[in-house]
Amino acid sequence: MDDLKRKSNQQNTQQAPQRATVWQTFSRNKLAVIGLILILFWVVVAIFAPVLATHDPNDPIVAEKFMHPGEGGHILGTDNFGRDIFSRVVYGARISIWAGVISVGISFCIGVPLGGIAGYYGGAIGNVIMRVMDGLSAFPSLVLAITLAVSMGRGTVSAMVAVGIVSIPDYARLMFAQTSSIKAMPYIEAGRAVGLKTSSLILKHIFPNCLSQLLVRATLGLGMAILTVSSLSFLGLGVQPPTAEWGAMISDGRRYIVSGEWWITTFPGLAIMTSILGFNLVGDGVRDILDPRNRTGS
């Protein structure tokens, strides 16, 4: 067990390559570039949703229920209320990306300081913080997200907060591990000797050293957050109708799979998949750049 730990510590302390070569290395990784394109695609779609949408995403047209893709000017067809699927998918990008960014933001902004404090001070404070993190990660993540979302009541905000809380331990652990190893280094001691404040030591001298790993975590976390929020919406917990959200759209269309109206569920699912794929590919690509050992592995 100790062996394993030492091994992972070695990995963590490996130096990142110089800034100039990062983009070159990244762009050589074709999959990562594809991932970046996918992310940019969905970001552009989200920003220009009002321009791209051909119909009002929430406007039911009773006469145009269950139209096939392409029929009556509906590129991807219409759903059981006669709403245009294309416009709903386009607007759904806004909610999903927002939900992802906000929940990752919550985990990041709470997890990083907690991990930093626990790592820097250690002792009783550190122990209490990290044990609470252990408690949080003792739950399977989707189970905890469901329970939190139920406790806070249905709705977009509570789903985002729930997903955010679930991942706090990931960031806290990373920051904790880095901080507790960096704080013993001479330059931190020197900083303390010249009288720097603890907060500025953590923020300006320790945090930047952890940033690259935290960013990889956050990129992969964005994909995971989008997935979890849409799963919550699918279960009826997250985004509430009639707001266009991919998971909720799939939940709406679920009943019509058996009768053959496949497009209601298929297109929002493809949207979720491609956006998550984008974040996963970019996250993997960046991790490969930071960890040379992984490069042989993929």
Nearest 5 degrees, angle CA 267-CA 98-CA 133? 110
Q: 53-89 as b/e, with b when 16 or more CB fall inside 10 Å?
A: bebebeebbeebebbeeeeeebbbbbbebbbbbbbbb
**In the complex with other proteins, which residue's Cβ is closer, 3 or 6?**
3
Under rule CB under 8 A, residue 60 binds other proteins: no
Under rule CB under 8 A, residue 90 binds other proteins: no
Under rule CB under 8 A, residue 203 binds other proteins: no
Stretch that binds other proteins, among 17-25, 169-177, 206-214, 269-277 (CB under 8 A): 269-277
Stretch that binds other proteins, among 43-51, 86-94, 201-209, 251-259 (CB under 8 A): 251-259
The 3-class secondary structure across 202-241, one letter per residue, is: HHHHHHHHHHHHHHHHHHHHHHHHHHHHHHHHHCCCCCCC
Question: Closest approach of Cβ 290 to other proteins, in Å?
Answer: 16
Q: Which of 59, 140, 157, 187 binds other proteins (CB under 8 A)?
A: 140
Q: How far apart are CA 91 and CA 268, in angstroms?
A: 11
Under rule CB under 8 A, residue 295 binds other proteins: no
Size of the site for other proteins (CB under 8 A): 56
Contact, 158 vs 94, CB < 8 A? no
Q: How far apart are CA 117 and CA 114, in angstroms?
A: 5
Q: How far apart are CA 66 and CA 73, in angstroms?
A: 13
Q: Which of 36, 216, 237, 286 binds other proteins (CB under 8 A)?
A: 237
What does 93-126 look like in DSSP terms, one character per residue? HHHHHHHHHHHHHHHHHHHHHHHHHHHHH-HHHH
**In the complex with other proteins, which residue's Cβ is closer, 82 or 238?**
238
Stretch that binds other proteins, among 40-48, 51-59, 200-208, 277-285 (CB under 8 A): 277-285
Q: What is the contact surface with other proteins in residues (CB under 8 A)?
A: 1, 3-4, 31, 131-132, 134-136, 138-148, 150-153, 223, 227, 230-231, 234-237, 247, 250-251, 254, 257-258, 260, 262, 265-266, 268-269, 272-274, 276-277, 280-281, 293-294, 296-298
